[in-house]
Amino acid sequence: MRVFVTGAGGFIGQHLCAALQAGRHEVLTEARGADVVVHLANIAHARAPEAELRRVNVDGSLERAREAAAIGVRRFVYLSSALALDASDRYGRTKLAAEQALAALRGVEVVVLRPPLVYGPRVRANFLALMRAVARGLPLPLASVRNRRSLVYVGNLIDAILRCLDAPQAAGRTFAVTDGEPVSVPELCRRLGSALGRPARLFPFPPWLLNLAPPLRKLTGSLELDDSALREDLGWRPPYSMDEGLRQTARWYLDA
C-alpha cells in the first residue's frame, strides 16, 4: 500500500513511518499516487492563539483532505484527540471542528482516531517531565489524587492506525484508542518508577490546590475513553500492555 504521512518527522510520525516500512508499505513524500493519507500534522498544544489553532488544525486539515479527494486518494486517516470531547479546551475545540468538517467531505473515506495522552520512546512535553521527575527521585505531591486517565502507548496507537488503513468497516467512523484500563496518576507514577528502577516518591497534598496550577491540572483531572468500538468492530487488540509500553519508554529514557 502507498501511504503519505503528514507530520512524518514528529514523535508519532517517526514511529508510524518505521512501522509502515517494516510492513512493506511504500511511504511517499507527497500525496500524489497515495492510496491512503495519514494526517498527523497539527498544532498539538493550546498555547498558540486560537486563530492559529483553527487555521492549522481545522482549515489546514480540511484542505489536505480536499486535496487528497481531488487526486483520487481512497482513504484519509485523521489523528484527532480525546480532547475533542472537552468543550472547555480550545485545542480540543479545533480538533472537534476538524472532525466535523471532515465528516461532511465527499470523495474520500475519512477515518478518525481519538487518542488520549500518547507516550513512548522520544515522547516530549508533560509525560517526559513526569518521567524525568520520577527518575530523579523528586518528591511529587500526587499521593492524594484519585483520578482515572486513559493512556495509549505509541506502539498501540501505530497498530491501530495500521488497522485503519484498509479495514472496510472503518470508513466514515470515529474511534477512541487506548491501552485499556485507565489508571490514576499515582498508579502511573508507581509503574513508571518500577520501569525506571527507581520507586516514585509521592506525598499527600490537597488535590484542589494542585488544580490551581494549569500544568498539574492536566495530571489531576480524569479522562476516560471507551475504545470498545475499535475492539469490537475492527477486532483490534493492543499488542503491548501498559507495563510493557512503560518499560520500552523507560529504556529509551535511560539510554538517552
Task: Quote the CA–CA distance of 200 and 185 in Å, as a whole number.
Answer: 11
Q: What are phi and psi of 50, to 5 degrees?
A: -60, -35
What's the grid cell of residue 4?
503519505
Judge whether 193 and 134 are in contact, CB under 8 Å. Answer: yes
Sequence-distant (6+) residues with CB within 8 A of 126 are 117, 215, 218, 219
Identity of the amino acid at 5: V
**Buried b vs exposed e over 16-55: b needs ≥16 C-beta within 10 Å?**
bbebbeeeebebbeebeebbbbbbbbbbbeeebeeeebbe
Which of 91, 119, 240, 253 does the annotation list as catalytic? Answer: 91
Query: How many angstroms separate the Cα of 36 from the Cα of each of 69, 143, 205, 250?
Result: 10, 45, 48, 33
Active-site residue, 91 included:
yes
**Buried b vs exposed e over 60-91: b needs ≥16 C-beta within 10 Å?**
bbbebbbebbeeebbbbbbbbbbbbebeebbb
Q: Which residues are catalytic?
A: 91
